Amino acid sequence: MTRLFNDPDDFAEEMIEGFAAASSRWVRPVTGGVVRSTRGAEPTVAVVIGGGSGHYPAFGGLVGPGIAHGAAMGNLFASPSAHQVHAVATAAHEGRGVLLSFGNYAGDVLHFGQAQERMREAGIDCRTVLVTDDVWSAPKSEIEKRRGIAGDLVVFKIAGAAAEAGMDLDGVERVARRANDRTRSFGVAFSGCTLPGADEPLFEVPAGRMAVGLGIHGEPGIDEVDTPTAAGLAEMFVAKLLDELPDGVTAAGARVVPILNGLGSVKYEELFVVYRSVHRLLTDAGAVVVSPEVGEFCTSFDMAGASLTLLWLDDELEQLWLAPCDTPAYRRGAVAGRREVSADELAALDDAQEIGESDEASRDAAAMVARALRAMAGMLDASAEELGRIDRIAGDGDHGIGMQRGSRAAADAASAAVDAGAGARTTLHHAGDAWADKGGGTSGAIWGEMLVALGTALGDEGTVTPDAVGAGITAMKDAVMAFGKAKPGDKTMIDAIVPFAEDLSERLAAGDGLTDAWTHAAGVAAAAAEATAEMTARLGRARSHGDKSLGTPDPGAVSFALSTQTVLDVLKENN
């Protein structure tokens, strides 16, 4: 369990501050994460990586010459927001374009995707390469749906070496995709991890058993078996990965880089005992082992577990894999010709949010928005433990914490905006950005998008009528469906959002007042959220666990329904 922390809510920020102070030879802090503190003689393509905190040395520990130019670092197991990714990418950009690379998780895909669009709108060529190395997370026929785990290191290292060699963005993207295509990983766990301030781990493994096919965000394994010997685990790893050879690769005669990765609590000595058998088994299969790695490269806080990654080389990938690099946590050879970057060169875009003009009617509506968000924050704070329990059934257990942090940040941002004289639009936009920044993950991205869409619909001038609210809720629904690509029946928040928005619109069109219409729609949302218990997850982290979530409602749908009820209470108080 985690023993050393101050306020759990401040853990990630304090960790990043301490890491940057301890690693100033390589990195400097910027909004949203860290970037290199040095540059070479000539500008290069900027490789920007990232994801949630809790995985050190991924992601900040891999920033430096020869690997990444910057790392966007979200809260624990929560993706960084689009705002954070954009800030890091802007600070890291050297004028030759940006490659974003990260594990294939829904929240990261949403946030990094938004940041990519913002970079392109600013005239900067920006590309994305997802890491999809986890063989257990989806079948071969759906390889594009697989998660990224310790194979992150491979893709980041290859991309960084290509950039260091002076390749253009097309070239860096090409070799990064090839590295991902030729990388496969398989992970197991003996116990779950415990987040700072939590009383219990995100999942538990019975004594003498081993979870198979785990993710790196506290997700439980997809299968469970008796704990094998070290040799038995090596045999399981190698057999599965030799059955997952990339297209065009035959083990006999192929050159392969094995990476045995500890997930947090397994000791190096144990890993060496496992690697002893891994090395022999690969050699027995006729493979030529090149530059093996044993250690911690992508962890899951204090989880007891391990993963094996195999990178099947070709001549170009081998040259890039063996190229020099110098980062806080991973070094090879010598990197020369660096100069320290000045503070002016590192300056990212001004993140200050302006307060535009508004009229009294809109400011009154903004004040009510702030009260509603404050009430939601209180409700979600009280519900965080139960939402986390629901999420642990087939997810990573952090939905309650994410909603707690996101709603609290949104409420604070809304209050500050109202105090500064903001109207409804500006207040909701500030709140949405804050929720996405602090909540992280898929739910943080979605709630941020919802609040921004609602604010855009309401504007900063004029009285907010019931019809305007109805139109705003519909805009929220449409934005989320376009943003997250989920549909009713996928067992997500959408299963509560869609019926709520549709029922509210129908009631308002029939002439009901806002409070009466909202009362009925909130009841519909609650029933819809409960009905998700009978659905099988088709999107998100729960998808890879099949029917495991049957009998349990989707936590995102539940938290949305609870939020509609809380807003209803505020509406009633205002009447």
Secondary structure class of 455 (helix, strand, coil) = helix
Please list, in sequence order, all residues whose beta carbon lies within 8 angstroms of the beta carbon of residue 45, skipping any fewer than 6 positions away.
94, 96, 97, 98, 99, 162, 163, 167, 168, 169, 172
- Alpha-carbon gap, residue 180 to 130, rounded angstroms: 8
Residue 186 phi/psi, 5-degree rounding, is -150, 125
Reported as type and span, the H/E element at residue 357 is: none
| Angle value at C-alpha 574, between 571 and 575, nearest 5 degrees | 95
Task: Confirm if 169 and 159 have CB atoms less than 8 A apart.
Answer: no
Please list, in sequence order, all residues whose beta carbon lies within 8 angstroms of the beta carbon of residue 27, skipping any fewer than 6 positions away.
19, 20, 34, 35, 36, 37, 60, 63, 64, 328
User: If we measure between CA atoms, which residue out of 273, 180, 142, 81 comes closest to residue 544?
Assistant: 142
Task: Confirm if 103 and 134 have CB atoms less than 8 A apart.
Answer: no
Residue 57 phi/psi, 5-degree rounding, is -80, -15
Q: Which of 217, 279, 429, 430 is catalytic?
A: 217
Pairing mode, strands 98-103 and 46-53? parallel
Q: In this structure, is the dihedral angle defined by the CA atoms of residues 87, 91, 92 and 98, taken in order, positive or negative?
A: positive
Please list, in sequence order, all residues whose beta carbon lies within 8 angstroms of the beta carbon of residue 432, skipping any fewer than 6 positions away.
410, 447, 448, 449, 450, 451, 452, 455
Give yes or no: 217 in active site.
Answer: yes
Place of tokens 């009362």: 519
Task: Confirm if 135 and 241 have CB atoms less than 8 A apart.
Answer: yes
Q: How many CB atoms lie within 10 A of CB 382?
A: 11
Task: Confirm if 229 and 110 have CB atoms less than 8 A apart.
Answer: no
User: If we measure between CA atoms, which residue out of 313, 228, 243 comes closest to residue 277?
Assistant: 228
- Active-site residues, by number, are 217
